[in-house]
Structure 1
């Protein structure tokens, strides 16, 4: 096990009660303080994996380790694990059950036995972190889908976890809400929160993640720092993915001598900025149509 690994899976398998397989000999190492993207098509096992990471599901075979020690599936062990590893479901209605926002966000800290003043401080801090300061007395059912997702994240943050797990966090959000959520994830990463999320959006994963883990048929078929994704074209294809658009376009522009080869911009915006920074003479010459 790597000295920097926070969570590790070794030959983890999971078989559901109907006999279907969710994970098949899955091996994965997740480093602390990193942004991790689990990338794969629907049905690849991403959600099942996340639900193993915080002990919601227990493996049929294999082992998970937290800070080098095997998961403890006793009541006290699971309680401690879920305090430190928080999961946000794809559908917020699966996670929200209180009438008011502050009641929902305070549920976890209250279960830790914290005093009222500490709970109130944690709720206020968590709501501020997700951009919902002043929403504490709002009825949950009056919130938009995106606001509900942020309340779910606040509820996890109020536990002050080391790890934040998010299942398809961008699903169901319009473009402005996706921008807001990505900014929130950036702020959490800056605070040192290890973030692990599932997605099938390769452009988002390329733009956001430090490490990308490609999943297919219940196993992790490749793990790589995002900057090295270019070298994993075959694994991307096996995971039902394509190369990020910014990477493809940079490769073509570099081959034509328009942009220097080397590290590719991590987004289309960054690529456009690189093009705009070039002297106009770089584009001189006759254009034939």
Structure 2
């Protein structure tokens, strides 16, 4: 296997108040994969994202980029943040310009790009999140979901290799969640590595290629989503239950309603399987 695009190696982090954000945490990211960072509140998910973006520096251990220890110089941090974009859970922490297009253009301007290149990137990023018509709108007039999409556009305008999102579905209604999921899938298909934090195991099981399971500041397991989500004991250590689709499928197989085999990745897919099996679900 090729060297990981990014990895944390045995990283620990102690905050100024003495609390531990991470304890000997190791995980890696490969190019173009969709990752869910799964864990309960306080498990260390946000701290992991802040280390991958260089906002925090390990107390012990290493951040490595393409096999090399990361250089925390100003040049190193500037390069990292041009390649690794972070979208905060609360968009008001990330937005500071008066107009939408001004906020999205901030990153490309700081890269020293020319005016035409910046305009092109801003337009493409706003198109990607469905906000092209809102370019001249004041940021303070936007809804919570629209603000989140502006934050994502601001990161996309940097054309990153890695997109980190902290609880991106929080505060979004169902249609907005569907739109955001489709956008993340398109980015991954273009080779962008996507890592999002969540405590929603049903979403993680449905969407992710791979899952990193967090508990008490450690990554306690990493692997393909179907494999990890089938390990009930592991999930319990991280304060998680099995995905609903997986649990229902197991019951239906036990009762002879469905044949044994790989479980569908969502309840909707499970209902389709029942329909095609000839079972009435009316």
**Is 1:227 aligned to residue 226 of structure 2?**
yes
Q: Is the 8 A contact 1:105 1:151 kept in 2?
A: yes
1:256–1:131 CA distance, 2 compared to 1 (3 A): same
Distance apart, 1:229 and its partner CA: 2.3
Question: Separation in 2 of the partners of 1:98 and 1:230?
Answer: 41
Unmatched runs of 5 consecutive residues or more in structure 2? none
Matches for 1:107-256 after TM superposition, within 5 Å = 107-256=106-255
Matches for 1:49-128 after TM superposition, within 5 Å = 49-128=48-127
Q: Is the 8 A contact 1:247 1:265 kept in 2?
A: yes
**Which range moves more in the overlay, 168-177 or 243-252?**
168-177
SS at match of 2:186: helix
- Structure whose alpha-carbon radius of gyration is higher: 1
1:211–1:236 CA distance, 2 compared to 1 (3 A): same
Question: Separation in 1 of the partners of 2:15 and 2:76?
Answer: 23
Over aligned residues, Cα RMSD in angstroms? 1.1
**Is 1:11 aligned to residue 17 of structure 2?**
no
Per the alignment, residue 258 of structure 1 pairs with: 257
State the TM-score, normalized to the length of structure 1.
0.95
Distance apart, 1:129 and its partner CA: 0.5
Listed one character per residue, the Cα deviations across residues 182-204 of structure 1 (whole Å, up to 9, x for unaligned) are 12212222222110000000000
Q: Is the 8 A contact 2:230 2:242 kept in 1?
A: no
SS at match of 2:170: coil
Structure 1: 4+ residue segments shifted above 3 A: none
Q: Is the 8 A contact 1:4 1:32 kept in 2?
A: no
Question: Separation in 1 of the partners of 2:173 and 2:229?
Answer: 29
Distance apart, 1:232 and its partner CA: 2.2
Question: Separation in 1 of the partners of 2:97 and 2:193?
Answer: 27
Listed one character per residue, the Cα deviations across residues 217-263 of structure 1 (whole Å, up to 9, x for unaligned) are 00100111012124422121111100000000011111222212121
Question: Separation in 2 of the partners of 1:19 and 1:192?
Answer: 39
**Which range moves more in the overlay, 79-88 or 29-38?**
29-38
SS at match of 1:17: coil
Per the alignment, residue 277 of structure 1 pairs with: 276
Q: Is the 8 A contact 2:36 2:197 kept in 1?
A: yes
**Which range moves more in the overlay, 180-189 or 6-15?**
180-189
Q: Is the 8 A contact 1:163 1:193 kept in 2?
A: yes
Question: Separation in 1 of the partners of 2:53 and 2:166?
Answer: 12
Question: Separation in 2 of the partners of 1:4 and 1:53?
Answer: 16
SS at match of 1:185: helix
1:204–1:230 CA distance, 2 compared to 1 (3 A): closer
SS at match of 2:132: coil
SS at match of 2:16: coil
Question: Separation in 2 of the partners of 1:43 and 1:230?
Answer: 20
SS at match of 1:63: strand
Question: Separation in 1 of the partners of 2:6 and 2:195?
Answer: 11
